[in-house]
Structure 1
Amino acid sequence: MNESNKKIILLGTAPIPKALLIMGLPTMIGMMVNAFYNLVDAYFVGGLGTSQMGAISIAFPLGQVVVGLGLLFGNGAASYISRLLGHNDKEKAGKVTSTALYSSVLVGAAVIIVVIIFLNPVLRLLGATESIMPYATTYASIYVISSIFNVFNVTMNNIVTSEGAAKNTMCAMLAGAALNIVLDPVFIYTLDMGVAGAAFATAISQMFSTLIYIHYILSKKSIFSFSIKECCFSKEIMSEILKIGIPTLIFQLLTSLAITLTNMEAGKYGDSVIASMGSVTRIVSLGG
């Protein structure tokens, strides 16, 4: 029995507890490691100083918005894809997959371009103080541009999991997290790049995870072809994606808003309070 048939059997006929364990456990491990490397990232940047730590705390809500864009299409499509595969409708599932992936990248790129054009006003809106602003601009300019890889990764995380290959998702997340942990001290301290080093370490790590997913696609391990020719923006497909994806995006936007409001209030008491709240936010994310 080939790998594709095993995945379809898992989604269509396997007992629910078994399917939840096989698909849920690797995903949970990957997400926990991903949250942990955000904490480690803050640890290394925190050694540079209060304003530098405050800079990545200010940029953190932008990351949540980026994740939300990936979840809008990835999480939105995942539920529909799993149901279609459960009914053995691989053709329509393939159309949903391609539509979700290319839509997320295009929308993500458009949002990133807008943010980069208005980066300084956006950072001030997010609560950057005068002393934090130079570091926030340096970090965010690199971090936001490279976020296109994260949009792709988050979308693929959900799609790959939906086809019953959660172990591949876990491996991609683990690999990116491990690489980021290694690169952070090298770029920040050894190469003396400061907050720019932290941003480049994150960018390279996200790119590495993207390459793992591209290899997964090109090696034909996936059930789907991810062809742009299969994109279909029909009312049925888009409504199925958006009715799950929009609530998820709203949740991420509200999370970003909550963090932003906290940073704005914290800024009244100095950079150290913004920096400390950034650390707390990352600790809390471990349980999310």
Structure 2
Amino acid sequence: MEETNPLGTEKVSHLLMQFSIPAIIGMMVNALYNVVDRIYIGNAPALGANGLAGITIGFPIMIILLSIGLLFGVGGATLFSMKLGEKKPREAEQALGNAFSLLLFSGLLFMILGQLFLAPILQLFGASATVLPFATEYMRIIFFGAIFQIVSLGLNNFLRADGQPKLAMVTMFMGAGVNIILDPVFIYLFDMGMAGAALATILSQFISMVWILSYFLSRRSHHQIQLKNMQLKLPVATRITTLGLPNFLLQLGNSLLNVVLNMNLLAYGGDIAVSGMGIVNSVQTILLMPITGLVQGAQPIVSFNYGAKKFQRVKEAQKLAILTATAIVVIGWIMTRLMPELLVSLFNREPELIEFGSQALRAWFLFLPVIGFQIVASNFFQATGRTRSAIFLTLTRQIILLIPAILIFSRQWGMTGLLHAAPFADGVSALVTGIWYYVGIKQLTKEEAGLGSVDYEV
């Protein structure tokens, strides 16, 4: 019954804290998977800058893995939350079962394709002859663990939607904690190099997957994964995929962005520029993962209350999320202004790399303060089922604006232009999202006033 579900009755600010803080902590910890690998690899004498470049080349593939987990995880959890809000628990459990099947199948497919076409993929993604052996050693093992990452990441969204935000956080803590402990053991003690870093990553993801499955296959969960719900139903699978598309396309675009970026960095600055941007990517991951966690925490609140037609609660959750996101990115922006050299030196202390990395950090994050709003406002359309609007807005920054800006600005102004493509895309995308969001909230207010359902899709 609705009155027993706190998503529809409890104070919105308390709910946002309850759901978002564990998600933020969890995403920050989850970000450490790739970042810790880079820190250990960058400081390993036998790996250094080439090792950093190798993992940077593999980063777009890691993003694709993430995107598949989000496609079926966020899409499934959004449908799950909306059906619970509509008081349709059986349909919610069917969304859970179908999403789990989609996660399993896609993880297995990704693993097989990765093993078959590893070298050509890495060369396509910009690996030079020097860097290719480092990237190959790392990514071959990562591909073997693809199913672990996709399933654990995807089902983590259902933990929050099932009312277990703290358990979702603990799951990420477990995985990242194991990774942090195993990394130095495999890389330094066993002298396994790139392979050691990758092995530590997939073992930690395996533990996370087992932990989540033990919850959803037990009576502890409010809604279990059941065999009867795992049989794919086309309308359910299609709806899950549609709802997850904005996150999927955003991350896929991020992967394409990194490929274009790596190729242009190689052309204008060589392997040292690729290594330096690997550090920038790591810092960006740390700075923006709290926003991802905030959005994940807000999603079930917004989706449930939208399904329950409690539009005032939807608007209140959005307002609080935007204010919080802006505060987070402003703090991150100040750090990139005051201590760029310190941030770069965590990964590698080669003078040339510190010089380039510091310059790149200052330029790349120039308009960081507007990004919190852009991400949260875009997610509003996804959480309320306005998929086309969400897809358009999430692609604006990374694909529609940033990739062309990198290609045009680098040709006009070289490396300086390339590094300033990001603030250009950040500023324009925030402006476009602001206009879209203003219209969206006005239409929601009309619905609240009882003027009927209004479509404000693209």
Q: TM-score, normalised by structure 1?
A: 0.93
Contact 1:77 1:97 in 2 (8 A): yes
| Distance in 2 of aligned mates of 1:131 and 1:14 | 57
- The aligned counterpart of 2:39 is 43
* Structure with the larger RCO, 1 or 2 (CA within 8 Å, 6+ apart): 1
Contact 1:8 1:85 (8 Å CA) reproduced: no
Runs of 5+ consecutive residues of structure 2 not aligned to the other structure:
289-458
Q: Any unmatched runs of 5+ in structure 1? A: none
**Alpha carbons of 1:250 and 1:8: their partners in 2 closer, same or farther (altered >3 Å)?**
farther
Q: What is the CA distance between 1:8 and its match in structure 2? A: 5.7
How far has the Cα of 1:235 moved from its partner? 4.6
Identity %: 35
Query: What residue in structure 2 maps to residue 124 of structure 1?
Result: 123
Give the superposition deviation at 1:66. Answer: 0.6
Cα 1:25/1:8, change in 2 over 3 Å: farther
Note the 1:1-288 alignment, pairs <5 A. Answer: 9-47=5-43, 48-268=47-267, 269-288=269-288
Aligned equivalents of 2:83, 2:13: Cα separation in 1: 20
Query: What is the rounded CA distance, in whole Å, between the counterparts of 1:20 and 1:101 in structure 2?
Result: 26
After TM superposition, the structure 1 stretch with the greater mean CA deviation from structure 2, 219-228 or 194-203, is: 219-228
The 8 Å contact of residues 62 and 144 in structure 1, kept in 2 or not, is answered as no
Distance 2:3 2:153 in 1: 20
Change (3 A) 1:255 1:238: same
CA contact (8 A) 1:7 1:165 kept: no
The aligned amino acid for 1:199 is A
| 8 Å contact kept, 1:11–1:85 | no
Following the alignment from structure 2 to structure 1, what is the Cα–Cα distance between the partners of residues 90 and 113? 35
CA-to-aligned-CA distance 1:166-196 (integer Å, 9 cap, x gap): 1111000011111111111110001000000
SS class of match (1:131): coil
Deviation digits for residues 24-77 of structure 1 (CA, Å, limit 9, x no counterpart): 111111101222342222110112222111111111111110111011111001
Provide the rounded CA distance (Å) in 1 between the counterparts of 2:17 and 2:235: 31
Whole-angstrom CA distance in 2 between matches of 1:58 and 1:24: 32
Distance apart, 1:250 and its partner CA: 0.7
More deviation, 30-39/7-16:
7-16
Q: Root-mean-square deviation (CA), in Å?
A: 1.9
- What stretches of structure 1 move > 4 A for 4+ residues in a row? 5-8
- Counterpart of 2:283, as a letter, is I
Q: 1:183 to 1:256 in 2, by over 3 A?
A: same
Alignment partners' CA distance in 2, 1:103 and 1:127: 30
Letter in 2 for 1:43: I
